[in-house]
Chains A and B, each alone.
Chain A
């Protein structure tokens, strides 16, 4: 390819304008591409995507039951029927509830549970941990002792106790899980901030006269947040797992299309050879938790290469 002096000039002329923001997004895209290079992460993302689609298009996949779509429609003529019986692809439970319907509408509840609990705990935990780390001294001590108290009780038992006190309902499960999960974030972010605070660039920001809030916002938090992102992804799965345990024990309303409640409903039939209710609902839980764990691990490998992935 030969170019004359004229065309050379045009080739060099104004470089495409890129603002700092575009550069930032380009970098995020780069991270995204790197994440996608891991096949396991891609599998996890695909499963999550399918579940999301399932939740969004639930009314199309299974006609909502009236008046409450989160109660399975009862088909009293088909009780405990195995998978494949007409109209019930995955069979029915002992009250004639369709298992497939339960799983489809249950994905909405699981999503709701994951997002609310993780969002709330992430924000609240970060706030507590940040205050502790930035203030230090007595406030740090006080807050961290509170966190210690929470951490000293096994999370499942603690969630169980709270949910039991509040009474059986789905929103109480959310509350119980939120009360348990925030401490982890407070711990993680506090440790990270204390580490980042020592960095010279924080001192350098103070040298040029930056305010504490600005330093926290621009220098400290962005460099301390990576483990939080990973933890949040992993917790998206964990929350559903523990939530399912709670409703399995019976802390959700009876007949709710919640996966844990479904497993619980099918439990009595297991010995009688009616395996399908618990198995399919359990499979949904496993897949959900697995998918988020795969993505969380993949994210950690990319964002924090220092910790060995496998």
Chain B
């Protein structure tokens, strides 16, 4: 039992409620909001330490029948249960909710804590109207995100997964300063619901899958993953009913991570919302889909996933890498360029997940964190630029902003290179691992993906060239804004430098970070690698000697 887990969910929520109900004193509540976010960040760091120090139990001799998902730190209360007046196959529905964290959750909680804190921090200077309400809604969103990452059962996962929508919709609708935020928020709502409501059918059918073996239905991840690994080890045939569930789940998660045909909400939302909101959406909320696949689809329905969907989603991931990069190259509005580049980079993570190998899963988990850091930083830089110059377009001239804003220029170049996957920075490690993983399964997809890294460098350098350098030299735009002409102030570069240091650290010592979640992804790989091998007979034929011990 760790008290940190309920605190991580409740502290930001409670502080948000305090701000909502503070009435006429609301204006003065901005520092309070920042403090709340800082407290959340500290709590998430504390949780990471707790998970880090918890004894790691690698699967033993009878490893396969052990649950694939095992929280190292957990919080289970008997009052949190859900009883339905229906009985299925003679078993009443009595679901115990549980919360907990393993390495993967802890990593995502840390990401939410870091990005959440800096988003709130920057909001205080970047949001002009109703700042305190904006910050309160951000805190609600952070609380809900923490709930998703900390839930250890299908039901609370789903509740928080849905609940994230509410604050985000309001943030996009109320504070969007781009193209038509009303239409964008509607599209965001409908797209997300179109995925998540059918998804609930899949989740429920997963929860009821123990009924087939005559056991009561359950929502607990560890129970269900134990059953799944038992089914894999005993070689039970999978019915067609599971594949239904897998497709429904992939629909829901696919929309959140904006897989190719379902991605149209993403550029619209990113172009409409305030860049500060977008940084949270792009770096954390977009990870919900990936996290869902890693947490639910892979461990709980490995066979059905591998037979039905692995190559389809993997191919879509590879295509989205190239597609996103090409569209990013053709767009001129910096918001849209960043939106499509984010889309493209998420493709790598999808690729890594769908490889279902040890390297691929580990790399995907690491890259989820990396991509979160880099994307958030890019959107913050965009937000700072927009504060100085209005809409940033790459179209017409070489703006030569480097001379005007040297500090900002250095950071922009740094994060562009991190995004493009320069060795020594974090993007490189993650993308390399995901591609190594996919290499073992299907080399063609990796060939396509590599194309994406080249294009990624191209559009990254295009941003740098058009914005920072050029013959025109410094020039001040017609619309004089309060900050135009001044370089980054301490409160602006502090978040960027912090993120930059993290990027460098992960790039130089990736194993230290991976130690946090490696046992968990390894356990997952131990379950799914044999399954994947059954489906893909020619797996590992390219690799002469497998790196898997």
A, B assembled together:
no
